[in-house]
Amino acid sequence: MNSGGVRVVLCMSLLLASTVPLLAAENAHLSIDASKAGAKIDRNLFGQFAENLGHGLYGGIWVGPDSPIPNTRGIRNDVVAALRALKVPDVRWPGGCFADQYHWRKGIGPAGQRPSTLNSAWGNVVDTNSFGTDEFMDFIQQIGSQAYVSVNVGSGIPQEAAEWLEYMTAAAPTALARERAANGHPDPYQVGFMGIGNESWSCGGDMTADYYLSQLKIYSRFVSNDNPSQQGPNQMLKIAVGPGFPETDWTEAVMKAWQRHDWSWNIDGLSVHWYTVPNGWPPSTPSTGFGVDDYAKTLKSTLFMDEFLRKQESVMDKYDPQKKIALVVDEWGAWHAPLTGTNPSFLVQQNSLRDAILASLNLNIFARHADRVRMANIAQMINVLQSMILTDNEKMVLTPTYYVFKMYVPFQDATYVPVAFDAGTYTQGSTSLPRVDALAARDAAGRLWLEITNLDPEKPVKIDAEITGMTVESAKGETLTAPAVDSVNAFTAPDTVVPKAVSTSVIGGKLVLTVEPKSVTVISLAP
């Protein structure tokens, strides 16, 4: 282009810049009575899922002690440091579909003596079994989390699961406890949660509800946690398989049986799986290079989570009005098309601002259902589906979804406070969505936390939040947004979607701020 061309382009840009008006802000009024307390927002709602799938474990967590990538006993230091900041309450492992083909004995003992097996759940790749039970527990301790172990009901037997739990949790000098000690771990591990099977209506063995129930009762009866420190209030919670579809027959069967259970078996939770797959199976939405139409359709689809939970809850309430059984959403998140050039069985996708907004909408839904939904695990932690972290050999990048989980840390174990607001409507083509969403909670120190999601990709929203029930003196917070709905953090540009400080003012007890288009904002309000 000659210099005249450059001049023309510059002039046009200046002209456009001076004539394109900034879109006027919409207004939203929120009203919060901080003295009204709802359910506890259980910290386990912010749990994660790490399946033996693709590079979720191998490469993502485990590089081995001889790797040039800085590690502690084979576990990546960069990943551990990043996850510690999220205060991950629990990690579900080893699957997923993988759990029902996993035989734990292949993953213990000296590294060189473990057999190689095929990961028939995910691409038939060779599994060295280097990352087994003791490595998982080491990882859990390094990140300061709790173990949620899924036992094999599909291709295993109750004895195998019972022995696995004994290996992990027995303090008495049984043969299995001595084997654990010989493997370097004399003290018993804590296992916070045990999942009895996974998607037993499909990849877990295509069972009928009645067949699964007969297995559930046996596993619940005979597979126990022997750790002396977990016999009281801290005991391991047993989680049964529930549906991955809106229909409620499976839930009905499990809850009906539970209502009649005797001393010999029990459960504490019912697992449900619900992914955001806007165009149906197989997942086809691109995880990069999409526009606002795809963005709006995906968010519309994710909001179905609320109805999905309501349907299951209505059945649970019938058999368990005291809400003893938790609804555990132990697989959720956006499932997009695999990235071009990757192994489709490895479920690799990018993670954009759209996914961050989707995460905040789901977390807010879970919090609104907190009296029944007391645990959830995003799928998945690293390099698989809607992950927190992406790695490529020595490189690591934190995704937009990671930052949402970080911003929501103050909501862990906080008390839900209802927020009244008129969300307004954002319309994109034929898709209509609420323009804003909001969540409030009080923490143990008495601070009020307010989250506001602006779904509208173009218009800022001026928020005025009237707060009663507490005197608010100051507010501060941060917001997550980016230039485009499909903005991502790349290894070469890791700070495209990162939280930044937001300006707020408190006038006469009222919080005033403007939230940017397509953003997630968290504010703390101190008395």
What is the set of active-site residues? 199, 331
User: Using the rule CB under 6 A, which residue among 198, 224, 350, 360 binds ligand AHR?
Assistant: 198
What's the burial of 232, exposed, middle or buried (CB within 10 Å: 0-12/13-18/19+)?
exposed
Any contact of residue 379 with ligand AHR (CB under 6 A)?
yes
198 versus 276: smaller Cβ distance to ligand AHR = 198
49 versus 411: smaller Cβ distance to ligand AHR = 49
- The 3-state DSSP class for residue 524 equals strand
User: Using the rule CB under 6 A, which residue among 57, 97, 359, 448 binds ligand AHR?
Assistant: 97
Binding positions for ligand AHR, 487-526, rule CB under 6 A? none
Any contact of residue 331 with ligand AHR (CB under 6 A)?
yes
**Which secondary structure element, helix H or strand E, spans residue 207, and what is its range?**
none
Q: Whole-number minimum distance, CB 88 to ligand AHR, in Å?
A: 17
C-alpha–C-alpha distance, residues 120 and 419, integer Å: 47
**Stretch 269-288: interaction string toward ligand AHR, x if CB under 6 A:** ----x---------------
Any contact of residue 330 with ligand AHR (CB under 6 A)?
no
**Stretch 67-96: interaction string toward ligand AHR, x if CB under 6 A:** ----------------------------xx
- DSSP 8-state code for residue 236: P
Q: Whole-number minimum distance, CB 487 to ligand AHR, in Å?
A: 25
Q: Do 436 and 452 meet the contact criterion of CB atoms below 8 Å apart?
A: yes
Residue type, 319: Y
Q: Which residues, in sequence order, are CB contacts of 95 under 8 Å at separation 6+?
A: 51, 52, 53, 102, 121, 150, 198
C-alpha–C-alpha distance, residues 97 and 384, integer Å: 14
Q: Whole-number minimum distance, CB 108 to ligand AHR, in Å?
A: 22
Paired strand residues for 427: 432
Binding positions for ligand AHR, 25-64, rule CB under 6 A? 51
93 versus 258: smaller Cβ distance to ligand AHR = 93
Task: Encode 465-491 in three state secondary structure.
Answer: EEEECCCCCEEEEEEECCCCCCCECCC
Any contact of residue 355 with ligand AHR (CB under 6 A)?
no
Any contact of residue 100 with ligand AHR (CB under 6 A)?
no
Tokens of 137: 């527990």
Query: How many residues of this chain bind ligand AHR (CB under 6 A)?
Result: 11
In the block, residue with structure tokens 């049984």: 174
199 versus 313: smaller Cβ distance to ligand AHR = 199
Paired strand residues for 126: 118
**Pairing between strand 373-379 and 389-392?**
unpaired
Stretch near ligand AHR under the rule CB under 6 A, chosen from 106-114, 355-363, 377-385, 499-507: 377-385
Q: Whole-number minimum distance, CB 66 to ligand AHR, in Å?
A: 30
What's the burial of 149, exposed, middle or buried (CB within 10 Å: 0-12/13-18/19+)?
buried
C-alpha–C-alpha distance, residues 304 and 145, integer Å: 30
C-alpha–C-alpha distance, residues 514 and 510, integer Å: 13
Q: Whole-number minimum distance, CB 338 to ligand AHR, in Å?
A: 12
119 versus 129: smaller Cβ distance to ligand AHR = 119
Q: Whole-number minimum distance, CB 82 to ligand AHR, in Å?
A: 21
> Which residues contact ligand AHR (rule: CB under 6 A)?
51, 95-97, 198-199, 273, 331, 379-380, 385
